[in-house]
Amino acid sequence: MKKKLLATVMAVSIATLSTGALVNTTQAFSLNLGSILKVGGVGILVDRFGGQINDFLNKILAQNNLSTTYTTKVVPIVSVGTNGYIGAAQVTGPASEVERVEAVAQLEASFNNVARVKGLVPIDSKNPVNASRIQGVGVSAIIDLKI
């Protein structure tokens, strides 16, 4: 299954690169194949396995008496600085609001050189530029994808 998934990720990445949709020519030389596969791979994995990952998380949380009565969903995490997919997150909240979530935006900053902070915000687009925060929805889990 891993070979089939890797083949799919590579095919999508190559197709995306050949159309120029993923990177423009000035950025193409600064990206390596690994980062391209990871960016494309995260989106594919979340689209394909997001429901199963969500069910697995809900089961694990319930086994530890941490379940929720709210709706949950797994979405990609997008970096505000690079607009690339960098992982996945489970969001939770009222069903009508969770349905609107397309991604979680991640912002990183240094706090007085003593701490690194990450803000995770559910948003209504997979493109964090001009996206809007979805009020009433929170991040309940972070998923580190092995690609």
CA distance 124 to 102: 5
Among 27, 22, 141, 26, which Cα is nearest to 87's? Answer: 141
| pLDDT, mean of each 10-residue run, the chain (147 residues) | 47 40 38 49 84 96 95 92 77 98 93 92 92 96 79
Please give the model's pTM, rounded to 2 decimal places. 0.70
* Strands 115-123 and 138-143, bridge-based pairing: unpaired
User: What pLDDT is stored for residue 39 in this prediction?
Assistant: 52
pLDDT score at 40:
60
Number of domains in the chain: 1
Structural domain that includes position 40:
2-143
